[in-house]
Amino acid sequence: MATFALIHGGGGSAWDWHLLEAELRGRGHDVVAVDLPVEDESASLLDYADSVAAAVGERRDLVVVAHSWGGFVGPLVCARIPAELLVLVTAMIPAPGEPPSDWWGNTGFGHKDMDDPIGLFLHDVPKELAEELLTKGRNHADKALAEPWPLDKWPDVPTRFLLCRDDRFFTPDFMREVVRDRLGITPDEIDGSHSPMLARPAELADRLEGYLTGRS
């Protein structure tokens, strides 16, 4: 069995993973879901990675799973502690020295109307669950958004990218191009919105387990 370290996106929390965590634990895996210190004005990207590494502790057979903005943190964790696999779930892919705030312009990400967050990010998530998620949002301090990504190359860890076909935020055509450009791989694909951990936790767990067994 594996240990899954689950890294949430910008403004999110460990709660975002609670359905997937239950799925994975029910299949015999260990799970570590961490609240990144996103509200801490003094916390750097490396501090974010350290918070995950500290929570993982001495656990081994580690699979790091990073969602959305968490793509800036997942590789840093893999550079700090041994990991068997890094899975990016509809995530941002950093380049060496790139501040997260520059990613949008550097990748050609277009403007999105943010007035309807449920329609943009959560359109296939059960209504009550989507509304609860919105109450748990956290402000993101500027330091980790503005500082350069600290690695000079991608960590030496097998990496998979899972794209969401119905994602209205990181749309499929856009992300396929970013993944090819920045990782040089073809992304895997799953149905659903930007939040598969809440909309399709069992299917996402199947995919993650498939990576371990070679079925995906």
Rounded distance between C-alpha atoms, residue 210 and residue 216, angstroms: 5
Rounded distance between C-alpha atoms, residue 42 and residue 200, angstroms: 35
pLDDT at 13: 97
pTM of the model: 0.96
3-213: CATH number:
3.40.50.1820
pLDDT at 189: 98
For the chain, the structural domain boundaries read 3-213
Element (DSSP H or E) covering residue 52: helix 45-56
pLDDT at 112: 87
**Listed residue (168, 67, 69) closest to 116, CA to CA:** 168
pLDDT at 131: 96
- Enumerate the β-bridge partners of residue 3: 30, 62
Tens-digit pLDDT profile for residues 72-119: 999 999 999 999 999 999 999 999 999 999 999 999 998 888 899 999
Antiparallel, parallel or unpaired: β 30-34 and 159-164: unpaired
**DSSP string for 165-194:** TT-SSS-HHHHHHHHHHHH-SPPEEESS-S
Largest CA distance in the chain: 43
**Listed residue (160, 214, 213) closest to 189, CA to CA:** 160
| 74 within 8 A of 50, measured Cβ to Cβ | no
Kindly give the parts of the chain with pLDDT less than 70. 215-216
pLDDT at 214: 78
Element (DSSP H or E) covering residue 196: helix 196-199
